[in-house]
């Protein structure tokens, strides 16, 4: 049996739905019981976040399928966000979406990473990479890593 301790999820838009299927296969082969850390970037961060909240692969697939970033913003908002921020979707929609996941699990949407980790069922460390692009005369990328783990 393959023992897996860490999982990493890249971004990739709708391709992140494949993570739910991969998790189902790993679960069926009993490879997920020793997970200690998950890291995610972009859409992959939502998959990692779902694991920390204790969702099973079937529910994670449902969660990832519900994300309709482009349906939440007008075409002009998409152009504006792309030009000035480097992404198409509204961060407000994403904040509301993740807040609802927290509420559905009995958490306050304004909970900190540390509070969530201290109260979670899974006891898995969560690492989230956020890419913020700032466009001026040059393209500048700022990568911020958020870490949720026990001290």
**Position 21 in a domain:** yes
CATH of residue 135:
3.40.1090.10
More confident residue, 142 or 5: 5
**Position 1 in a domain:** no
What angle is formed at CA 112 by the lines to CA 65 and CA 60, rounded to 5 degrees? Answer: 20
27, 67, 14, 6: CA torsion to nearest 10: -40
Domain holding 117, by residue range, is 6-148
**Position 77 in a domain:** yes
**Position 65 in a domain:** yes
Confidence (pTM): 0.70
| Total domains, the chain | 1
**Position 100 in a domain:** yes
Q: What are residue 115's phi and psi, to 5 degrees?
A: -60, -40
**Position 63 in a domain:** yes
47, pLDDT greater than 90: no
The DSSP code for 74 is -
pLDDT digits (tens, 9 = 90+) for 56-80: 777 887 877 776 544 545 565 666 6
Confidence of residue 140 (pLDDT cuts 50, 70, 90): very low
> How far is Cα 70 from Cα 74, in angstroms, rounded to an integer?
8
What angle is formed at CA 130 by the lines to CA 119 and CA 37, rounded to 5 degrees? Answer: 45
What pLDDT was estimated at residue 141? Answer: 41
**Position 13 in a domain:** yes
pLDDT above 70 covers a percentage of the chain that reads: 64
**Position 53 in a domain:** yes
């Amino acid at each position: 049996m393959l023992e897996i301790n860490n999982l990493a999820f890249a971004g990739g838009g709708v391709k992140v739905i494949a993570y739910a299927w991969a998790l189902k296969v790993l679960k069926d082969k009993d490879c997920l019981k020793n997970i200690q850390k998950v890291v995610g970037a972009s859409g992959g961060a939502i998959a990692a976040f779902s694991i920390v909240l204790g969702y099973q692969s079937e529910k994670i697939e449902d969660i990832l399928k519900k994300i309709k970033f482009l349906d939440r913003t007008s075409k002009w908002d998409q152009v504006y966000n792309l030009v000035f921020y480097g992404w198409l979707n509204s961060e407000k929609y994403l904040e509301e979406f993740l807040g609802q996941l927290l509420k559905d699990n009995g958490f306050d949407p304004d909970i900190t990473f540390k509070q969530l980790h201290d109260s979670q069922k899974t006891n898995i460390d969560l690492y989230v990479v956020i890419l913020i692009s700032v466009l001026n005369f040059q393209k500048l990328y700022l990568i911020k890593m958020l870490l949720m783990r026990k001290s």
